[in-house]
Amino acid sequence: MVKNLYQLLTEIANERAVEVVNDIAVSNKTYKQLTQEIKKSYDNIRNNLPIEHKKFLDKYEDVIGMRQTLTFETLYKLGLINGIKICNLCDKLKNNDLKQLKHLLKIYTNHTNCLSD
């Protein structure tokens, strides 16, 4: 049962990480600009490579993509765990401390909102 719960949470976290990345890709101007620069550079490299070397560049791109996916999934899982820890901490805090924590979280959330420019 615990293994099934862990697998379910992992799947949910991975799916949510993909949703967040897709949202950033659509809504963040800086991300779009960087993606265009990467694509342009990649295309320049690929178009100037001998055909027998293009497979190495393709493999490189695949491995970079897998690493990036792993990073996003891990960061999302850590954020989820941190959220659970914060909820547990809130249960233990006194009412006044809880108000201060909520205020700090609001400031932090407003400061770190990076989904759009």
> H/E/C letters for each residue in the chain?
CHHHHHHHHHHHHHHHHHHHHHHHHHHCHHHHHHHHHHHHHHHHHHHCCCHHHHHHHHHHHHHHHHHHHHHHHHHHHHHHHHHHHHHHHHHHCCHHHHHHHHHHHHHHHHHHCCCCC
For residue 78, the model assigns a pLDDT of: 86
User: Does 94 score more than 70 pLDDT?
Assistant: no
Evaluate if residue 117 carries a pLDDT over 60.
no
pTM, rounded to two decimals: 0.61
Give the pLDDT band of residue 111 (cuts 50, 70, 90): low
Q: Is the pLDDT of residue 18 over 60?
A: yes
The chain-wide mean pLDDT, for the chain, equals 82
Q: What is the mean pLDDT of residues 57-61?
A: 93
